[in-house]
Every structure is written in C-alpha cells, then in structure tokens.
Amino acid sequence: MRLGGPVFVEGCDPQAYAEAHVAKGLRAAYWPDWADAHTEATACRELAVALEKRGVIPAEVGIWRNVLSPDPVKARSAVEYAVRRLATAEEVGARCAVNIVGSWNETYWDGPHSAHYSRDFFDAAVQAARKIIDEVKPRRTKLAFEMMPCQFLDSADEYMRLLAAVDRKAAGVHLDPANMISSPRLLYSNAAFFRDAFAAFGGAVLTVHLKDVRLAPSKFTVSMEEVPIGRGELDYENLLRLLNGLDRDTPCMLEHLDSEREYDEAAGNVRAIAERAGVTLA
C-alpha cells in the first residue's frame, strides 16, 4: 500500500505540488482541481511528469458532483463534469475518478433520502455510471464510487451488485472502510466485518480512504462521528494487514482533517500502526 494525502502548497506549480509529497514521505497524490485536462492541459501534463519523476502515483481524480440531482439542469451539468474528470483520470493514468453514486436529497448534494435503498434509485445510479463511462471509454483508469452510510452502497455485497449491474470493465471499487460503518453492531465487530468485506472485494479495490470513527458519547440515539486515526474504534492493525494483501501500489489516502499538523499526525499514526502490524508501506 502507498500512503497518500493532501499537501499544503500555495498556487498551481506542478513541481512544488509534486515535491511536497516527497517532503512528507507520501507516495500517492490526490489529483488537484487546477490540473484538469479539459481546461489546463499544460499544467495537467507537467504535473503528471513531475509526480512520475518523484515516484508518486496519481491516486484519484475527484468528481464530487451530484449526477442524480432532482434538478435536471444540475444533474446534466454534473454528468458533464464527471465525464471531463474521468477523461482527466484517463489522461494522467490515475487509478480512478471517484464520486458518490448520487443523491435524491433536495438540499444537500450528498445527503440522505428514504428512496436511496429503492430499486428506482439503484437503476438510476447504474444508468448514470454507464453514461459517464461510455462517453469516455477509459482504458487506463476506472470510474469508482464512494461508499456512503446513508444509501445502498454501504457494503461489499452491495458494491459488487452495483458493479455487476453497471457491467463495464471501467467500473471499479473505491473503498472507504469508515463509511461502511453505520451501526454500533458493525463498529464493535469491525475486524470480522472488514475481513468478510475484503474477501468479497477480492482484487477489485483501486483506492482507499483512511479515517477513523467512533460512537458519539452521551447520546441516547445512535450518532457516529469521524475522528483522527487512532482516536476511534476501528481495528487499524487488522485493517492495515488486510490492505497489505491488496496490490502493493494501492493508494491509501488520508482525508477530512483540518490542518497540515493533523495530517502529519495521522500519517505518523498510520506508520506506527503499520510497524506494529508488521506491514511495510510501499
């Protein structure tokens, strides 16, 4: 596994962006929005070369738009943007372009909705994924989907059901273990849950998001909250051993922290846990 995460660089200098990963000991990079093949072809090419020279791979190109928005104008715009971002991922050889499957929430682009477990929503997600992939027809990259605790894509079995329905070789797995945890039962049995999940995924995982989760204290109703790695309930030694069984170049990306200091701390925690677990980071 390759550890990656955000870097804190001002401006849009490809060399500085690539060098910042080396300085932090990171071997995988989030592809920045400012280096888009559709609008900034020169910066896109320069960054791809700069990362390659330093032994850093482009992990994922983020889409993060609601392709199933209830507003048809917004949905169409989001699909067009997703096509451009998947084309960028293909251009630079990123492991994937990643998005959520979509949301029918009328207020939040990634919010919950009662119909997110319905057949109609599943079918709409399949059709949107096919449209995006068929527009680009990628050969070097894949379209992948963020797992979410408030819709059907919340388990390995559901993910493999989605991939079977999409029926495109250019659809793959983006794994977010923390987002798979949606109940105290799963949280407190996460080691066994993740072992079963990895068995179901096989070698289909392209990229991974790393964070931790815990049950919020002093709540009478269930409330899960994200916390920095090592401060939650996930069995990270077990998780890193499972990740170590994937392709050795699989990017495992830190996310959702507020500062450079917090990312440094999270990276240090992952390295320390990996050492205890007997896992060697690429």
List pLDDT tens digits, range 177-220: 999 998 999 999 999 999 999 999 988 999 999 999 999 887 67
Helix axes 260-277, 236-244, angle to 10 degrees: 80
Instruction: Give the SS3 label for residue 188.
Output: helix
pLDDT, position 275: 96
CB 170 within 8 A of CB 141: yes
Centroid of chain to Cα 194: 16
CB 157 within 8 A of CB 115: no
pLDDT, position 260: 95
pLDDT, position 159: 96
Does the pTM exceed 0.85?
yes
pLDDT, position 223: 87
CB 205 within 8 A of CB 163: no
Positions of the chain with pLDDT under 70? 219
Distances (CA, A) of 195 to 192, 226, 227, 238: 5, 21, 22, 8
pLDDT, position 16: 97
pLDDT, position 2: 97
Q: How many angstroms separate the first and last alpha carbons of the chain?
A: 6
Distance CA 92, CA 86 (A): 10
Q: Where do the domains of the chain lie, and which CATH numbers do they carry?
A: 59-277 (3.20.20.150)
By CB atoms closer than 10 A (0-12, 13-18, 19+), residue 42 is exposed
pLDDT, position 36: 86
Of 224, 214, 280, 215, residue with least CA distance to 252: 280
Tokens coding 253: 């990306």
The amino acid present at 99, given as its one-letter code, is N
